Amino acid sequence: MNIIEILKEDYQRFPVNQTYSIYAPDVYFQDPLNKFRGVRRYKQMINFIQTWFLDPKMDLHNIQRLGDTIKTEWTLSWNTPLPWKPRISIPGWSELGLNSDGLIVSHVDYWNCSRLDVVKQHLSKQNSGVRSQNSE
């Protein structure tokens, strides 16, 4: 199975049973909140999402490989474990750099929204996963 097919399957079952063997041991990861090196630390971040986010989902909209770069476009969504369980949605894209062995050596995520937009989603009752009878 090629790396594109592996990534498609990983996105479908995210964050469960991710294929960490496609990452170099010292992979560089960056998103608007984190910056670190190492597949061990990457696993910890995915485990955090799996443990603390409710119903996390990664919708893959597009994936393409151009030479030693793979670009994915996606929407990450989940319910936050607050009493009103807001549904959070972050549209974005990733740029994955490959080495000569075909392993991912860099994974940089970009958001199509600001960190403030994400905070506002947590405060909005419109994103509530808990519906009142009057909300229909």
pLDDT (tens digit per residue) in 109-118: 999 999 899 9
Evaluate if residue 28 carries a pLDDT over 50.
yes
Q: Please, are residues 41 and 24 in contact by the beta-carbon 8 Å criterion?
A: no
Domains in the chain (CATH in brackets) are: 3-123 (3.10.450.50)
Q: Select from 28, 70, 78 the least CA-distant residue to 53.
A: 78
Q: How far, in Å, CA of 12 to CA of 57, rounded?
A: 8
| Residue 38 CB coordination number (10 Å) | 15
| Residue 92 CB coordination number (10 Å) | 16
- Per-residue pLDDT, averaged over 88-104, amounts to 97
CA atoms within 13 A on the CB side of 57: 10
Evaluate if residue 1 carries a pLDDT over 90.
no
Query: Could you report the per-residue pLDDT of 71-84, keeping only the tens digit for each?
Result: 999 999 999 998 99
Distances (CA, A) of 42 to 22, 59, 117: 12, 19, 24
Evaluate if residue 133 carries a pLDDT over 90.
no
CA angle, 34 as apex, 29 and 36 as ends, to 5°? 45
